[in-house]
Amino acid sequence: MLTETAYAKVNLALHVRRRREDGYHDLESLFAFVDRGDVLSVTPRADGGLSLTICGPFAHGLASGDGNLVLRAARSLQISVCPSNSLGNSGGLGILDSGHLGADLHLFKNLPVASGIGGGSADAAAALRLLNRLWGCNLSDRELCAIGETLGSDIPACVISQSLRVEGRGEALAPLDLPGLSGTPILLVNPGIPLGTAPVFRGWDQVDRGPLDTSSLEAVITNGRNDLEAPARALVPEIGDVLERMRAVPGATLSRMSGSGATCFALFDSPQACSTAEQALAAEQPTWWLMSGRVR
Ligand code: C5P
């Protein structure tokens, strides 16, 4: 059995610059990934079929049917590499001859659904990496990103799962290993309320507040913003409570909302400060979801 971690994604800053004709928004963002997340495992099957089972703390409320992004990613990869597949596609890359590539996938869902930390995108990206290995497709990251882009804006970044400056709708990626970032202790906190991405983007006030300076971690901390914080807080006011609490914990060097919310994160100057904050918040707010780790 092969496994891949679907690393949790955080937007250390997320500047929304423009609403586009196609309904998406042009962004400038610094994506970072936590060294923990969902876990996807797979066993091969030779009949070309695909299946998905889900367990874990956030398995409830997540459908494992054909609409699940993991299965959609698996099918897209199958079609790309295997034109003779029973699903039929003459425009694929035609790398593999066998029409019988299949997989039984199992997802252990540790991350809350609809929470601004990648979730389904990270799961889909993990499926692409995992099946690329299982089936011996040998597609490059660039090719996996191109498949992922057709399924969701954050999937290309999640394929890479290393710190990246991200632009466009999410497809323009530049690796960015900022000094002082990798290994930083990080705490994720979610108030336990799911929040869809589209309504938050719709609530953006269309004011361009300017570009994102990623010349240093200091610049991202000091001058970076999350332009989706205001529309997310309008929908889930509890985000304000989380941020207020996280900004008061000792040792936090940056506290901000991730993505379209409602998960917020804090970076810490020491692992001790991070675990002290985690224990204090867990005791105070038993309904909040917490996860600590390190930035990859
Ligand atoms: O691409 P994805 O399906 O993950 O996006 C979900 C929704 O988030 C889109 O339908 C769109 O409303 C919004 N979105 C956006 N601009 C982006 C990414 C997502 O408006 N760059």
What domains sit in the chain, N to C, each tagged with a CATH number?
2-175 (3.30.230.10), 185-294 (3.30.70.890)
Q: How far apart are CA 10 and CA 33, in angstroms?
A: 6
Buried b (16+ CB within 10 A) or exposed e, 207-238: eeeeebbbeebeebbeebbbbbbbbbbebbeb
Q: From the CA of 260, give the closest atom in ligand 1.
A: 8
Q: From the CA of 201, give the closest atom in ligand 1.
A: 20
Cα–ligand 1 centroid distance for 99 (angstroms): 33
* Atom 2 in ligand 1: residue holding the nearest Cα: 152
| Cα–Cα–Cα angle for 145, 151, 156, rounded to 5 degrees | 25
Cα–ligand 1 centroid distance for 277 (angstroms): 32
Contacts of 185 (CB under 8 A, 6+ apart): 267, 268, 270, 271, 273, 274, 292, 293, 294
Q: Is 231 in the pocket of ligand 1 (CB under 6 A)?
A: no
Low-confidence ranges of the chain (pLDDT < 70): 83-99
Residue 61: the pLDDT is 78
Beta bridge partners of 157: none
Q: Which residues have a catalytic role annotated?
A: 9, 154
Q: What is the pTM of this model?
A: 0.95
Cα–ligand 1 centroid distance for 152 (angstroms): 7
Residue 94: the pLDDT is 55
The pairing of strands 164-168 and 25-45 is antiparallel
Residue 46: the pLDDT is 87
Residue 97: the pLDDT is 54
Q: How far apart are CA 247 and CA 48, in angstroms?
A: 51
Q: Is 222 helix (H, G, I), strand (E, B) or coil?
A: helix
Give the closest residue to 293 by CA, choosing from 4, 3, 32: 32
Of all helices (H) and strands (E), which one includes residue 28? strand 25-45
Distance (Å) of CA 119 to CA 105, 109, 157, 177: 16, 9, 12, 23
In degrees and rounded to multiples of 5, residue 214 shows phi and psi of -110, 30
Q: Is 152 in the pocket of ligand 1 (CB under 6 A)?
A: yes
Residue 96: the pLDDT is 60
Q: Is 201 in the pocket of ligand 1 (CB under 6 A)?
A: yes
* Atom 13 in ligand 1: residue holding the nearest Cα: 198
Give the type of residue at 287: T
- What strand order describes the sheet that includes 289-294? 252-257, 264-268, 185-190, 289-294
Q: Is 170 in the pocket of ligand 1 (CB under 6 A)?
A: yes
DSSP 45: E
Q: From the CA of 169, give the closest atom in ligand 1.
A: 21
Q: Is 24 in the pocket of ligand 1 (CB under 6 A)?
A: yes
Contacts of 176 (CB under 8 A, 6+ apart): 30, 163, 164, 165, 214
Q: Is 197 in the pocket of ligand 1 (CB under 6 A)?
A: yes
Residue 37: the pLDDT is 98
Q: Is 205 helix (H, G, I), strand (E, B) or coil?
A: coil
Task: Summarize pLDDT for 242-294 with one digit per residue, the tens.
Answer: 999 999 999 999 999 999 999 999 999 999 999 999 999 999 999 999 999 99
Answer positive or negative: Cα dihedral of 89, 138, 120, 26. negative
* Atom 15 in ligand 1: residue holding the nearest Cα: 24
Residue 273: the pLDDT is 98
Give the type of residue at 260: S
Helices (H), the chain: 69-81, 120-134, 141-149, 155-160, 197-202, 217-223, 229-235, 238-247, 271-284
